[in-house]
Amino acid sequence: MFTLAIIKPDAVGAGKTGQILAHLEQAGFKIRAARLVRLSTVQAEAFYEVHRARPFYRPLVRFMTSGPGLALALERDNAVAHLRVVIGATDPAEAQPGTVRQLYAESKERNAIHAADSPENAAREIAFFFPERELRELAAPGAS
């Protein structure tokens, strides 16, 4: 099963990409696709469309367009739910010890990593960043 993560611009800018990738690999995730992306405002607005009515939407779009992020298609059993556990709560002050956000996030907004919150959103978000890849292709043994 697949999920979608983004190492966010705060963590990429602070040089924490490698440590976070190591953390994800140690948690059993296989990196099946990766792409360094500088989102445009239109792309970030579309990606976070479900949050459009929330007060943090505009600052979130500004932050996500402030520098490159690393989009990842990750594979593991129970990938969506497991990645949510591994990254920890949205607010690093509330994240469990040893989670990615507790270790690397600065704040609720600059929180180092995004993870899809359902299998449906994982499929939508993978297609958003890797439109040229079929989930089936990502699932093939030996796929990179």
Q: Which stretch binds ligand CMP (CB under 6 A): 12-20, 25-33, 104-112, 122-130?
A: 104-112
Q: Which of 43, 66, 109, 127 binds ligand CMP (CB under 6 A)?
A: 109
Q: Using CA atoms, how far apart are residues 136 and 94, in angstroms rounded to an integer? A: 36
- For the segment 29-58, give every residue that binds ligand CMP (CB under 6 A): 51, 56
- Cα 113 to chain centroid distance, Å, stands at 5
Q: Which stretch binds ligand CMP (CB under 6 A): 32-40, 70-78, 109-117, 132-140?
A: 109-117
Which residue among 23, 51, 82, 114 is the active-site one? Answer: 114
Number of helices and strands in the chain (H, E): 8, 4
> In the annotation, is 23 catalytic?
no
Residue 101 binds ligand CMP, judged by CB under 6 A? no
Buried/exposed 98-126: b ≥16 CB within 10 Å, e otherwise: ebbbbbbbeeebbbbbbbbeeeebbbebb
Inter-residue contact 31 to 17 (CB < 8 Å)? no
Inter-residue contact 5 to 126 (CB < 8 Å)? no
Q: Which of 43, 65, 90, 121 binds ligand CMP (CB under 6 A)?
A: 90
CB closer to ligand CMP, 35 vs 56:
56
Inter-residue contact 6 to 111 (CB < 8 Å)? no
CB closer to ligand CMP, 58 vs 78:
58
Residue 106 binds ligand CMP, judged by CB under 6 A? no
Binding site for ligand CMP (CB under 6 A): 51, 56, 60, 90, 108-109, 111, 114
